[in-house]
Amino acid sequence: MLIILLGPPGAGKGTQAESIVKNYGLAYVSTGDILRKAVKEETPLGCKARENMNQGQLVPDNLVVEIVRERLMEPDCFKGALLDGFPRTVDQAVFLDQALPDIGTKIDSVLLIEVEEDELIERLTGRRVCSDCGANYHLKFKPPKVRNVCDQCGGDLYQRDDDTLETVKERLDVYKKQTEPLIKFYQEKGLISEVNGNQDINGVYEQIKSILDDL
């Protein structure tokens, strides 16, 4: 089973990925993690990627996909894998389609977690972090007992730069530009399954489970 998990920032992909991987015995494949690992271990592909990164360039799509292909050939992926947020563009999706037959696998489903933009903005801009111990809070969903004070250590809570309203809107705009064509690409292949991400965490997972159980 090879599953792709898509969704905008704040949609809860990470939380749902944990449940999917645990309950279906899938390997968790994050391109950021495997790219850093390949660079650190100085694999041939990792060295090529580092050359681009050292020059301040993006790692080419075909190279990223090749690194993903190598990851999918590792033993823990034999029972299946979950690709979290990858591919991000149509070009990456095309390269991935070309690479998968070589390892005898195919994409079974593309789960798209959809959340209304106003809800995403509220989720992302409401996050706060303790400046001392790093504990996480949310103004609506997990507020501290005392405003702007950490429950655990009494440290000051702050808003990360990437959680400001301006930055959040920029992140959502980038997601729309990159991902909407990708969604259409997979819709035309009949692989997209839409998931209502406006529900609570358990509700979202139950909908995902019903989709995966039917594969």
In angstroms, the CA 201 to CA 209 distance is 12
Closest CA to 85 of 58, 100, 64: 64
Q: How many CA atoms lie within 13 A of 90 on its CB side?
A: 12
Q: Give me the active site residues, please.
A: 13, 88, 127, 160, 171
DSSP classification of residue 89:
S
In angstroms, the CA 103 to CA 75 distance is 12
Output the six-digit token pair for 171: 């992140």
In angstroms, the CA 24 to CA 27 distance is 9
Q: How many CA atoms lie within 13 A of 59 on its CB side?
A: 24
Q: Is the bond leading into 101 cis (omega within 30 degrees of zero)?
A: no
In angstroms, the CA 135 to CA 155 distance is 9
Closest CA to 32 of 79, 68, 5, 77: 68
